[in-house]
Amino acid sequence: MTCPTAPNIVFVMTDQFRADFTAGEGFGLDTMPFLDSLAAGGVRLRRAYTTAPACVPARTSVLTGRWPSAHRVRQNSTPQGVVRGDDLLDVLGGAGYQLFYAGKTHMYRGRKEFFDAFSGPYGHESGPDETVEQQDFARWMRSIDHGPTTEATPFPVELQFAHRIVSDAMGQISARDPGKPFFSWISMPEPHNPYQAPEPYFSLFGEDEVPARTCGPEAAERKGGAYKWLRELVEEKRPGYDRLWRRYRATYCGMLRLIDDQLRRLVDHLKAQDVWRDTLLVFFADHGDYVGDYGLQRKGAGMPEVLARIPMVVHGCGVEARDNRRDFVSLADLLPTVCEAVGRPLPLGVQGRSMWPMLTGADYPAAEFADVVTERGYGGLPYPDDARPELHFPYEGTKYDELNSVTQSGSSRMLRHDRYKLYQHVAGEAELYDVAADPMELHDRWNDPRLRHVQADLTQRLHRWSLRLTDDLPDGAYDPLLPAHNWHRGEGD
């Protein structure tokens, strides 16, 4: 499908969506058949990674094309501390695009004055609740303390945030100026906790149907560190919570199907508006979810594949259908890709790599996408396993935030290459895993003499990334030589 000079662009972003929970990824339940059909007609990037397994740092990377160590937003509480050049909205606004937003924001561009049409902000327990029914739903959502619930949500699908957000986006698209291209960013809070679903989604996947988890609480004990600390904290607050892991997974799967049905509604509307042929749609998540593995829910400890790897599907004009199982890509690559798709130069300070030649079937160097980096941590040194520092929530009661000063203390970088994964931590520790043989990362191979060559290779690759992520900002009197597509490596590298 050919693409106009200025294609319409639609971002559909989900929150805390684990990449391997669709049939197209080999999961045992058909949770998202429509997304899988889009992937079959577009590009599924099976090795897509977040820049950080936390909402605001990851979303800031989408906007800026920069990693957290450069844009400086390393925790959810600091979105306005961003360090950046021109971002996604600057680029598309400068290219004459109408800018639409509907959904959860949780980023520095989260206000209506930044957009031509804005609906939100939506949170995880409430939204712009104007009607009595919406207000009742918000009160109920707060009452379940982030779930998982053991019964179906007693409110209709139409009150679910995903449904309301897609309806809002459809209204914005219908009211557009047809003489200008548009950018529609649709941000669904789900399948992030609270874990709840109305019928028919609550009962769609039975607890006895969900595939068994790979590992349970014993894995958190084995991993130690923040895994063990978080597991013990939640068990202290919610004794026996892990007994609900099958219900949690079943509800999570139902939430995915609900999202899938709303994605279908959106695409049907784009077709009805006669803009689908000229639209580039990108579906992705900000980060993943344990979904019961390690005996944990949500996120917080480490950067295992279940948190770091994300779904990413690109479909539409200009895209050549391909199942991409080879290339490692990042959320930070979205901005430079959009820049090239609409013919705009990359802003100074962008660190991501354009995927546009990859998506359109043009030549590109495999070496450029042979590895990728994810970051984690608020700084300082890691707390010990028995730490009990003052937190931003009390140790008493059921409420907790998995992103806290203990689980996020210190700084770490993770590199993925081939079948392997390397961690380097601020205090000098390192870990090495064969992800193909050990997907839950339970067998550290750092000291395995048989993998010394792998250790050396990945360490060198991570060092090269550390140099690459040195910030080019602020702009000064001298101009660096910026490579085409922001590719730093060629076929011979």
Q: What is the pLDDT of residues 208-224, one digit of tens each?
A: 999 999 999 999 999 99
Contact (Cβ atoms closer than 8 angstroms) between residue 313 and residue 43: yes
Q: In the prediction, which pLDDT does 493 show?
A: 76
As a whole number, mean pLDDT of residues 469-478 equals 95
Higher-scoring residue by pLDDT: 490, 280: 280
Closest listed residue to residue 399, CA positions, set 228, 107, 113, 194 = 194
Q: To the nearest whole number, what is the mean pLDDT of the chain?
A: 97
Whether 1 shows a pLDDT value over 60: the answer reads no
**How far apart, in whole angstroms, are the C-alpha atoms of residue 32 and residue 382?**
38
Which tens digit of pLDDT belongs to each residue from 16-51?
999 999 999 999 999 999 999 999 999 999 999 999
Q: In the prediction, which pLDDT does 490 show?
A: 81
pLDDT band at 5 (very low <50, low <70, confident <90, very high): confident
Report the b/e string of 304-343 with b at 16+ CB within 10 A.
bbbbbbbbbbbbbbbbeeeebeebbbbbbbbbbbbbbbbe
The dihedral through the CA atoms of 113, 115, 119, 123 has a sign that is: negative
For residue 327, give Cα distances in angstroms to 127, 386, 454: 37, 40, 19
Q: In the prediction, which pLDDT does 6 show?
A: 93
pLDDT band at 2 (very low <50, low <70, confident <90, very high): low
Residues facing 25 on adjacent strands: none
**How far apart, in whole angstroms, are the C-alpha atoms of residue 89 and residue 60?**
12
Structure-token pair, residue 196: 């709840």
Which tens digit of pLDDT belongs to each residue from 153-176?
999 999 999 999 999 999 999 999
pLDDT band at 236 (very low <50, low <70, confident <90, very high): very high
Contact (Cβ atoms closer than 8 angstroms) between residue 463 and residue 469: no
3-class state of residue 390 by DSSP: coil
Domains annotated for the chain, with CATH where assigned, are 8-368 (3.40.720.10)
Q: Which run of H or of E encompasses 457?
A: helix 452-468
Which tens digit of pLDDT belongs to each residue from 191-203?
999 999 999 999 9
Whether 277 shows a pLDDT value over 80: the answer reads yes
pLDDT band at 492 (very low <50, low <70, confident <90, very high): low
Q: Which residue has the tokens 């019928």?
A: 199
Whether 4 shows a pLDDT value over 90: the answer reads no
As a whole number, mean pLDDT of residues 405-425 equals 98
Residues facing 313 on adjacent strands: 44, 283
The percentage of the chain sitting over the pLDDT mark of 70, rounded to a whole number, equals: 99
DSSP 6-64: S-EEEEEEEES--TT-SGGGT-SS---HHHHHHHHTSEEETTEE-SSSSHHHHHHHHHH
Which tens digit of pLDDT belongs to each residue from 253-269?
999 999 999 999 999 99
DSSP 322-372: EEE-S--EEGGGHHHHHHHHTT-PPPTT--S---HHHHHT----GGGGSEE
CA angle, 462 then 53 then 72, to 5°: 70
Q: Which run of H or of E encompasses 237?
A: helix 225-237
